[in-house]
Amino acid sequence: MDKHNLTKEYSNGEVTVVWQASKCSHSANCVKNLSAVFQPQTQPWIKMENASSAEIVSTVGKCPSGALSIK
Ligand code: SF4
C-alpha cells in the first residue's frame, strides 16, 4: 500500500478518529495535547481507551493540518 494514501480509523464505540497520513505535518500538537492517547511510537498509535470522547474530539480539533478528523 502507498503510505501517502494511508487512512486509518480508530474508534471507542462512540466516536471514530480518522487519520490521513499524507496530511500529517508531524507537528505533534496531538501528542502534546493528549499524550495518553496519541503515542506515535507505539501501535496502534491512537489509543482511544485512554481518554474521554470529549477530550479526544477537542484534541482532534486542534490538529493544524487537518490530518485528524472525527467521523
Ligand atoms: S496534530 Fe495533526 S498534524 Fe500534528 S502530528 Fe498530530 S495528526 Fe499529525
Report the CATH number at residue 12: 3.30.70
> Rounded to the nearest whole angstrom, what is the distance from the C-alpha of residue 36 to the centroid of ligand 1?
15
- What is the pTM for the complete model shown? 0.92
> Rounded to the nearest whole angstrom, what is the distance from the C-alpha of residue 42 to the centroid of ligand 1?
15
> Which pLDDT tens digit goes with each residue over 4-13?
689 999 999 9
Q: For residue 55, what are the domain limits?
A: 3-70
Pocket test for ligand 1, best of 17, 68, 69, 70 (most atoms within 8 A of CB): 68
Residue nearest (by alpha carbon) to ligand 1 atom 2? 63
Burial of 18 (0-12, 13-18, 19+ CB in 10 A): middle
Burial of 37 (0-12, 13-18, 19+ CB in 10 A): buried
> Which pLDDT tens digit goes with each residue over 19-50?
999 999 999 999 999 999 999 999 999 999 99
Other CB atoms within 10 A of residue 23 CB:
14
